[in-house]
Chain A
Amino acid sequence: MIDSLIDFLIGITLSFDDAEFVWVMLATLLVCFGSVIALFGFIRHGRIMQDTPTSKIRSASQGFVQLEGRARSLDDKPLRVPGSGRECVWFDYLIEKKGKDWEEVARDTSIYSFYVDDGTGVCAVDPEVGKVIARKKRVWVVGDWRYTEQIIAENESVYCLGQFETDQGGSKAEVLKIGVRVLLNQWKQDRQKLLQRFDLNGDGDIDMNEWNQARQAAMSQVKSATANDYVPTQHHNLVAPFNKSHPYIISSIPQGELTSRYQRYAFGLLGLFVVSGAYAVFMTIVRRDLF
């Protein structure tokens, strides 16, 4: 069996002319080096996933973290996948039409953020630059049309790895400033009323002094309206890691399953590396005359 395989490989290798040999050799070396680079990438990312503890959102520190929770749409308004119309928080779909082969007609990936809720808090996740891995994948054919979609559904378990950031929200002064601006804009809509109230010298115009009085009136109105309402709000976000060598992953496949998958990929790539490396050496031995 092995003898016949070796004979077969020798036959193929000897059948290449010099130019073909160079190309095959280059391709083999490319596969060999490519697989070893990808192999170490999977090992590294798998280890980072295994080695990072899961944080609770309410007490997570700023920096690279791992979160686990349930997916929730922003403002409780789930997205709908074009095609099937299913509700979700993230989607990736592809519509193809049958011609000579399946030809792509439409394709899109959601870039909209969604929340991860772990019971202690919520954190907005930005899927645009992250690697999103969805468990739910469907392919179906209707006539000449083929639909492929992957989604992360509302309330589905999600596992995320990325940079945790907390936006402290507006200070009371900022909230008041915005409130005053909004109120003054509202007053400006009704010029007659504004003149009635603040045109103290009756010249039919609002001068600087009168405008300052209007501002003060707006400020005291906003202050009394927000006196008991102001609560500093924190917003947590998960974004791409500042350290570019760290992965940014959003997955509806649990961590354990994902790391096992990475291990399988790593073993596969190890096999590819060994086989392509061995063949490169084999080719060199068989065509020693060229070196």
Chain B
Amino acid sequence: MTILEFVVAALALVILIYTVIIYNGLIRLKNNVARAFANIEVLLKQRHTELPLLVDVCKGYMVHEQHVLLAITEARSRVHSAQEKHDVRGLGQAETLMRTSLSQLFARCEAYPDLKANENFLALQERISQLEDAIADRREIFNESVRLNNTRIQQVPDVVLARSFGFGELAYLKFETVALLPVKINLKS
């Protein structure tokens, strides 16, 4: 092996290692997004299980608000369907609908003192609102992971590998956040 061949081989090895680092980085970013989405899915599944319980409790009291309960059932099914298809845009739209419907439900509950006194209802309301907050938090991490991925695949030298291996831009999860529980103001402090 001549010196020139040795130098070329050494440089090729360095470039190869650098390429592997870039490729692994792109895979890591993609996996971060998948992991962030899976973390949202866990919460969506928990909420999917709890919502029928909430609707059942409300049904007995809110006889004249069936359309609100129906909207929640409809939103639940849309969220589930989008989640199954891994359709991030569709999930965002369904989630906005869900939050609006839940917000309407909790607002109308104010007119039903018996329902508001029901312990089951209070526990479910608290639980679902905690889940909504956690979903909103995890959406931030998901969107941050997407932003990091989308930025990285546009940068040099990553763009070369990203295009060659088909790493594409990923969609952000967008939905409106609505406060579900009334804000408690502590007048004592």
Which positions in A face B, CB cutoff 8 Å?
36, 40, 43-44, 47-48, 50-56, 58-59, 61, 63, 120, 273, 277, 281, 284-285
Contacts and interface: CB of A to CB of B under 8 A. Distances in A.
B14 A36 contact: yes
Contacts, number: 54
Contacts of B18: 40, 43
Nearest to B138: A59
A63 to B, nearest CB: 7
Contact of A53 (B6, B134, B145): B145
A281 B36 CA distance: 48
Contacts of B25: 47-48, 51
A59 B140 CA distance: 10
B28 interface: yes
Given A56-B137, A59-B138, A281-B3, A51 B21 contact: no
Contact of B36 (A47, A53, A54, A284): A53
B29 interface: yes
A59 B137 contact: yes
A40 B134 CA distance: 37
Interface string B1-30: 001001100100010011001000100110
Contact of B32 (A43, A51, A56, A284): A51
A285 B35 contact: no
B53 to A, nearest CB: 21
Contacts of A50: 148
A285 B137 contact: no
A52 B148 CA distance: 8
Is the contact region of chain A dominated by helix, strand, or loop, or is it mixed?
helix
A51 B146 CA distance: 10
A258 B7 CA distance: 33
Contact of B3 (A48, A51, A52, A284): A284
Nearest to B6: A281
Contacts of A43: 18, 21
9 contacts: A40-B18, A40-B21, A44-B21, A51-B148, A53-B32, A53-B141, A56-B140, A59-B137, A59-B138
Nearest to B36: A53
B146 to A, nearest CB: 9
A59 B134 contact: yes
B39 to A, nearest CB: 4
A40 B17 contact: yes
A81 to B, nearest CB: 36
A285 B3 contact: yes
B74 interface: no
Nearest to A32: B10
A284 B32 CA distance: 47
B144 interface: yes
A231 to B, nearest CB: 14
A146 B68 CA distance: 73
Interface string B137-176: 1101100110010001000000000000000000000000
Nearest to B26: A51
A39 to B, nearest CB: 9
A73 B6 CA distance: 55
B7 A281 contact: yes
Nearest to A52: B32
B51 to A, nearest CB: 20
B55 to A, nearest CB: 26
A51 B14 CA distance: 22
Contact of A51 (B6, B7, B28, B138): B28
A52 B39 CA distance: 15
Contacts of B145: 53
A52 B3 CA distance: 42
Given A48-B28, A59-B134, A53 B148 contact: yes
Given A40-B17, A53-B36, A281-B3, 4 more contacts: A44-B21, A55-B141, A61-B39, A61-B138
Contacts of B17: 40
A53 B141 CA distance: 6
